[in-house]
Amino acid sequence: MSSKAIAREKIPDAVSLLKAKYRVIAPVPKGKTFVFKKIGNPQEVVLDYNTTILPLKKFFLPPDEVIVKYNLKKREYQEPEIESEPTVFFGIHNYELQGILRLDYAFGTGVKDATYLKKRENNIFIGVTYTPDDYHFAESVGIPTDLKEGFDIFLTKYNGHYRVEALTDKGKNIVSQWSEFLEDCSYDGDPVVHFKNKLKQSVAGIREIFHGAYNHPVWKETSKKCYSCGTCNLVCPTCYCFDVSDEVVLGTDQGARSRRWDSCQILGFTEVAGGEAFREKRYDRVRHRMSRKFAYIMDDRDRPFCVGCGRCIRQCTADISITDVMNALL
Residues that bind ligand SF4 (CB under 6 A): 226-232, 235-238, 265, 293, 306-312, 316-318, 320, 322
C-alpha closest to that of 150 among 184, 127, 179, 131:
127
Tell me whether residue 256 or residue 320 sits nearer to ligand SF4 (CB atom). Answer: 320
Task: Output the smallest distance, CB 163 to ligand SF4, in A.
Answer: 27
Query: Nearest approach, Cβ of 315 to ligand SF4 (angstroms)?
Result: 7
Question: To the nearest whole angstrom, how small is the minimum distance from the Cβ of residue 285 to ligand SF4?
Answer: 8
Q: Which is closer to ligand SF4, CB of 171 or CB of 308?
A: 308
**Quick one: which of 189, 142, 144, 161 has its CA closest to 48?**
161
- Tell me whether residue 119 or residue 287 sits nearer to ligand SF4 (CB atom): 287
The rounded distance, in Å, linking the Cα atoms of 194 and 290 is: 25
Q: How far is the CB of 63 from ligand SF4 (least distance, A)?
A: 16
Q: List the end-to-end C-alpha distance of the chain, in Å, as a whole number.
A: 46
Cα distance between residue 168 and residue 150, in whole Å? 9
For the CB of residue 296, give the shortest distance to ligand SF4 in the complex, in Å.
13
| Closer residue to ligand SF4 (CB): 124 or 298 | 298
Cβ proximity to ligand SF4: between 139 and 165 the closer is 139
Give phi and psi for 238, each to the nearest 5.
-115, 0
Beta strands at 23-30 and 33-38: parallel, antiparallel or unpaired? antiparallel
Edge-to-edge strand ranges of the sheet holding 123-128: 33-38, 23-30, 87-92, 123-128, 153-158, 161-166, 4-7, 182-184
